[in-house]
Amino acid sequence: MSRRRVVVTGLGPIAPCGIGKEAFWRASLEARSHIGRIRRFDPTGYRCQVAGQVEGFEARDWLDVKTRNQTDRSVHMAFACCEMAVADAGLDLDGEDATQVGMYFANQFGGMEFAEPELYAQAYLGPQRVSAYQAIAWFYAAAQGQWSIARGILGFGKTLVGDRAGGIMALAMGSLAIRQGHAQVVLAGGFEAPVVPYVWAIHQTSGLLSEHRQSPEKAYRPFDAERSGLVLGEGSAILVLEERDRALARGARIYGEVLGYALGQEPVASPLGLASASRLAATLRAGVAEARIEPEEIDHVLAEGLGTPESDGEEIAALEQVFGALPRRPSVSAPKSMIGHTLAAAGAIDVAWAALMLEQGVVLPTVQLDRPADPSRLDFVTGAPRDDPPENVLCLSRASGGGVACLVLGRGKE
Amino acid sequence: MSRDRRVVVTGLSAVSPAGVGAEALWRAARDGQSFGARVSGFDVSANRSQIAAEVPALDWLALGLDREDLARLDRVDHFSLVAARGALLDAGLERFEPHRAGVVIGTAVGGVGFMEQEFRRVCRRQDKDKPSWVAVDPVSVNGHLYSAFLAHSVSSEVARRVGFEGPCFTVATGCTAGLDALGAAAELIACGLADVMITGGADAPVTPIVLTAFDNINCLTRRNDDPGRASRPFDRDRDGFLLAEGCGVLVLEEEEHARRRGARTYGSVLGFASLSNAFHMTSLPAEGTELARTLDRLFERSRVSPDQVDYINAHGSSTKQNDRNETAAFKLTFGARAKRIPISSTKSVLGHSLGAASALESVVCFRALAEGMVPPTANYENPSADCDLDYVPNQPREARLRVIECNASGFSGIHSAALFGHPDFRPGKRRGFLANASGTPSPRSSEAA
C-alpha cells in the first residue's frame, strides 16, 4: 500500500516584508532589506541593535480582547497566520470533522514578551503580583491551545522546540501526522517575536549575532564577503497541510507536495556547535532520497545563510558536496536576507516562499550579496528575482547542538 | 520498508524524587511512598502553595556529568543526560547505526531555572511598579544562557553526548509532553525514519516563576502542613497538584533490530493517539467526553480492544477537575468494565512533574508489566462522590498484566494516550497503529455501561 501523500493548500505568512500572502510576496519580489534599527525597545548597549520588525500588525484585527490579554505578540501572529492560511486554503472549518484537523507548531522560547514583566514582578514585587495568565501565556503550546479553542479544533495538536530548525521540523512532523493517520488536515509552521529586551540579550549569547558596523540594511548579508553575522527578525508562517486525495477531491488549489524530509544530528563539540558540511550534506541527500527524486531534480535551494564565515562556509561546502559535480545544478538563495532570520518561523516562511515560487514560476534572490565570500560552483541568485520556474525546492535549516532539517516541496507526480 | 514495524522498549531509566534509576522509581511507586516537602531553594513564604516533590541532592559528577555541564546547562538537562545514559546502559545498546538513532524528549518549561536566575542578575529594578518593558544589562549576561534556556537542549544535549545522529527535537506540549514525545518517537520508528529512539520527558519546574504561575491559577495543593499526603488523586480531599520535578527515559527500538542483537525487551508500544478538547486553556469539563474520544481513537489506531486492558495508569493529577473528568471518560470508553479495571495514579507518589510526569509513568508501566504488579494510588483515604472506580488504594496488587493504557491531559486542552503491551502479548489482526482510524467501527467496550 502506498503511503499517504501530503500537499500544501494554504499559506498564512506574516513577516517584516508584509502581512498576508499577497503583501508578503509582492514585497519579496522587490528584493530589498527590511532590516532596521530596533524600535520596540531601546537597544543601546546590545551587541546587535537591528532586526527585521513587522509593521502594521494589529492583534485586535484577529483576536478578541480576552484572548489578546492572555497571549503575547508571537501567539497573536500565529493566530492571524492560522486564520489567513485557512482562508487561503478555502477551508470551511465548520464543515470539517474537527477531530481530523490538527496543528504542529514550533517556537523558540515561548511567549517571552508576556513573561518578561511577570519575571520582573516575581523578582521585585512578589508572587501575588504575577499575572494569572503567566501559566498559559508563556508556555510553548499556547498558540495551539488558543487557536483550537477559538475555532473548535479537536484534532491532533503538537508544538516542538527544535531551535532554528523548528519550523522545518514542525512541517515534517505535521506531514508525518497526516501520513500516520492522526489527521487529514494539519496547520503547521512557526511563530516568533524575539524583539524583547531580555530575549534579545539571550540571543546575544548564541554566538552568531552580527555587530553590524554598517547601516542596518547592510547588516545581514549571508554568503557575502562583507557579512558580519546573523540578524534576527520577527514573524510567523502557518501552512495548511492536507492529505492529497482529499485536497484533490475538494478541488483545492495545491501549491506543492511535501515530497520528503530528513532530520539529522551531529555530535558536535559544544551545545552551540553547528553540524559539519558532511553531516549537512548527508541530511540533504537523505531528504532528497526520501522525496524519491534525484539530486539533479532539485531546481532551487533555500539556504540557511547564518551569515558567519564558518557557518556559510560549511553550508556552501555541503551544497557543493551534494550538487557541485552535477551537470545541472540548482540555483541557491537565502531570501531571509530581506527580513532577518525568524528562528523557528524561518523554516515555515521558507516553505511558504517555496510554495509561492512554485506557483509563480520565479525564484527569489539573496539580497546584499554583492561579492561572494567563498569561491564555489553554486549558482547564487542575487539582486533580483529570476524567472526560472522551479519544480522542486529544497529548504534547509540548522539547529544549535548539531541539528539539521530539510524538506523538499515539489510539484509532485500525478 | 515493512508497513508493520513494531516498536519495543529495551531500556528504562529515571531521575525522580525517589533518586536515580528505574529501580528506585519502581520501588517507590509500588510501595506508595509519597514524596513532598517544603520548598527550600527559594523563598515561598508569599506563595499559597509552598511544597513540592523534588529530586534529592545528587552527586552529579559521580553520575557522569562534568563541571562544564554543571556550569553551562540547566538542571533539566542534567536530568535528561543522566537518565538517557542510564536507559542506554540498561538497553545494552553498544553498536548502532548513528543516523538511524534519534532523540525526542518532552518538556513543559525546559531550562527555565537557569533563565530565571540569570534574569534576576541582569534585570534592573525600575521606578515603575510593573514595567511593560524590562531593562536588562546585555553585557554581563551569562554566555551559556542561550543553550541553557533552549528547550531543544533537553534532547540535543543527549544526542550530542551519546552520538545519536538521527531525528532530534524537543516536544513542548506542557503536561502531556512526555507521552507526546514517546508517541512521536514510536512513530518515527514505525514509519521507518529511525530504528532506535531515546525518548521520555524531563522537567525542573520548581522555580519561583513556575510555582507562582501555577499557584496563581489555583491548581496547586495548599496542604503545606502535610506535604507527604498532599498529592491524593481521586480522594475526596484532593485540592490541587503537587509540583514536582524529574525525568523518565525509555529506549525504543524496532522489534527486529532489538531481536537481532538479542536485547531484553520490557514490552511494546501498541498505539498512541492525541486529540484536543477545544474547551479551555486550563479547565476540564466534568463529562469526560473529549478524553473518551481520545481513548476511542487510541483503540481505533491499535490492534487492541478496550476489553484487553488490564490496568490503567491514569493522569490522576489530584485536581478536582482532572480526576472527575478522567473517571467519567473511563466510564464512557470502558463501559461497565471501568469499575473492574485497576486504575492508579503514580502522581500520588511522585507529584506532578509536568512534561516529565507521563514519561516517568510510562517507565513505571513497563516495570509493572515485568513485575506483574499494579502500583497503588497513595494517600487514598476517602472516596469521592465523583470518583467511584477502583483506584488501587495504597497497596500494590499482583496481577497478570498484558496491556496497560496510560494517558495524560494538559493545558491547551491536550489529551494524549498510549497502549503498552507485555513482551508475550501479541496484538490481533486488526489494523496496526500505522493505520488510519476512519471507517473503523466503534472500539468501545463490548459491555454496556
pLDDT in tens, A343-381: 999 999 999 999 999 999 999 999 999 999 988 999 999
CB contact under 8 A, A286 and B191: no
Nearest-CA neighbor of B126 among A116, A109, A110, A72?
A116
DSSP state of A164: B
Distance from CA of B251 to the nearest CA of A (A): 18
Q: Which pLDDT does position B24 carry in this prediction?
A: 98
Nearest-CA neighbor of A395 among A366, A352, A362, A340?
A352
Q: Which pLDDT does position A214 carry in this prediction?
A: 75
Distance from CA of B372 to the nearest CA of A (A): 32
Q: Angle CA(B200)–CA(B206)–CA(B209) in degrees, nearest 5? A: 115
Q: Which pLDDT does position A174 carry in this prediction?
A: 98
Distance from CA of A14 to the nearest CA of B (A): 23
Whether residue A1 is predicted with pLDDT greater than 70 in this model: the reply is no
Question: What is the arithmetic mean of pLDDT over A161-184?
Answer: 98
Q: Which pLDDT does position B427 carry in this prediction?
A: 87
Q: Which pLDDT does position B443 carry in this prediction?
A: 60
The tens digit of pLDDT for each residue in A296-341 reads 999 999 999 999 999 999 999 999 999 999 999 999 999 999 999 9
Percent above pLDDT 70 for chain A: 100
Question: What is the arithmetic mean of pLDDT over A152-161?
Answer: 98
Q: Are A26 and A41 in contact (CB under 8 A)?
A: no
The residue annotated as part of the active site, out of B168, B175, B387, B406, is B175
Question: What is the rounded distance in angstroms from the CA atom of residue B290 to the CA atom of residue B442?
Answer: 15
Nearest-CA neighbor of A259 among A247, A275, A241, A279?
A241
Total Cβ atoms within 10 A of residue B388: 13
Return residues 228-257 of B near A (CB < 8 Å).
none
Q: Calculate the dihedral angle through the C-alpha atoms of A170, A174, A175, A178, rounding to the nearest 10 degrees.
A: 170
- Strands B246-254 and B7-16, sheet pairing: antiparallel
**Per-residue model confidence as pLDDT tens for chain B (449 residues):** 345 799 999 999 999 999 999 999 999 999 999 999 999 999 999 999 999 999 999 999 999 999 999 999 999 999 999 999 999 999 999 999 999 999 999 999 999 999 999 999 999 999 888 999 999 999 999 999 999 999 999 999 999 999 999 999 999 999 999 999 999 999 999 999 999 999 999 999 999 999 999 999 999 999 999 999 999 999 999 999 999 999 999 999 999 999 999 999 999 999 999 999 999 999 998 899 999 999 999 999 998 999 999 999 999 999 999 999 999 999 999 999 999 999 999 999 999 999 999 999 999 999 999 999 999 999 999 999 999 999 999 999 999 999 999 999 999 999 999 999 999 999 876 555 444 444 444 567 666 54
Q: Which runs of E-coded beta strand occur in B35-142?
A: 37-38, 51-52, 101-106
Total Cβ atoms within 10 A of residue B259: 12
Q: Calculate the dihedral angle through the C-alpha atoms of B157, B163, B169, B173, rounding to the nearest 10 degrees.
A: -70
Please give the residue of chain B at the shortest CA–CA distance from A116: B134
Q: Does A341 touch chain B (CB under 8 A)?
A: no
- Sequence-distant (6+) residues with CB within 8 A of B436 are A4, A181
Residues of chain A neighbouring B72 (CB-CB closer than 8 A): 271
Q: Does B412 touch chain A (CB under 8 A)?
A: yes
3-state secondary structure of B293: helix
- Sequence-distant (6+) residues with CB within 8 A of B261 are B92, B93, B95
CB contact under 8 A, B139 and A205: no
- Sequence-distant (6+) residues with CB within 8 A of B441 are none
The tens digit of pLDDT for each residue in A192-250 reads 999 999 999 999 999 999 998 779 999 999 999 999 999 999 999 999 999 999 999 99
Return the C-alpha cell found at B194: 529511525
Question: What is the rounded distance in angstroms from the CA atom of residue B23 to the CA atom of residue B15?
Answer: 11
Q: Angle CA(A369)–CA(A371)–CA(A377) in degrees, nearest 5? A: 95
Q: Which pLDDT does position B434 carry in this prediction?
A: 43
Q: Are A143 and A78 in contact (CB under 8 A)?
A: yes
Q: Which pLDDT does position B435 carry in this prediction?
A: 43
The tens digit of pLDDT for each residue in A86-133 reads 999 999 999 999 999 999 999 999 999 999 999 999 999 999 999 999
Q: Does A120 touch chain B (CB under 8 A)?
A: yes
Total Cβ atoms within 10 A of residue A26: 11
Is the sign of the CA dihedral A350, A355, A356, A357 positive or negative? positive
Q: What is the ipTM of this complex?
A: 0.98
Nearest-CA neighbor of B11 among B141, B173, B200?
B200
Chains A & B: contacts with CB separation below 8 Å = 292
Write the CA distances from B70 to A125, A132, A268, A414, B78, integer angstroms. 30, 33, 18, 55, 8
Return the C-alpha cell found at B64: 557522569
Task: Give the H/E segment covering residue A93.
Answer: none
The answer to whether B352 is a known catalytic residue is yes
The answer to whether B144 is a known catalytic residue is no
The residue annotated as part of the active site, out of B78, B168, B247, B352, is B352
Q: Does A271 touch chain B (CB under 8 A)?
A: yes
